[in-house]
A = this chain, B = another copy of it.
Amino acid sequence: MNTELSIAVNGQGLYEITSDVAAVVKSSGLNDGLATVYIRHTSASLVIQENADPAVQRDLEAFLARVVPEGDSADNPVPYTHVEEGADDMPAHIKSALTQTHLSIPVVDGRLALGTWQGVFLWEHRHRANQRRVIVNLLS
């Protein structure tokens, strides 16, 4: 019912994990039910977005960077007090709060019922490379 995946990321950006999640659904044999994807972190998140044009992903990334600035110099301080873990850590928490820690997607006829243009993405908000742990829960 619960399968943990480890997703390698290499800095900020959207990483499509649709095929990873679909593989868990397929191997389970689940025909009709609900798949829930859960990320066990607070500086990376999940989102369902268009997976056709990579420019969409870049524009999403740029938007969040404007709304939740990191600050990059003494002339450009940021209004965060939680700074011990790096300039990208508190912005990463805020970006995670504004997006999703979990996603639930119906499973119909053995497949994720994603719309034509939908993909499941892990949204990494920190600069460093990392392994992110994601759980796929299946219910019927």
A residues touching B (Cβ–Cβ < 8 Å)? 1-2, 32-34, 36, 38-42, 47-50, 53, 55-56, 58-60, 62-63, 66-68, 79-82, 84, 90, 93-94, 96-108, 113-118, 133, 135, 137, 139-140
A139 to B139, CA, bound (A): 8
Cβ of B115 and Cβ of A42 under 8 Å apart? yes
Cβ of A96 and Cβ of B49 under 8 Å apart? yes
Cβ of B50 and Cβ of A118 under 8 Å apart? no
A115 to B56, CA, bound (A): 29
Cβ of A40 and Cβ of B108 under 8 Å apart? no
A11 to chain B, nearest CB (A): 19
Task: Identify 6 residue pairs between A and B in the complex whose beta-carbon atoms are under 8 Å apart, listed by A's number.
Answer: A42-B115, A48-B101, A53-B82, A55-B82, A97-B99, A101-B103
A6 to chain B, nearest CB (A): 13
Partner of A135, one of B80, B108, B137: B108
A50, A62, A103, A106 interface centre (most CB from chain B within 10 Å): A106
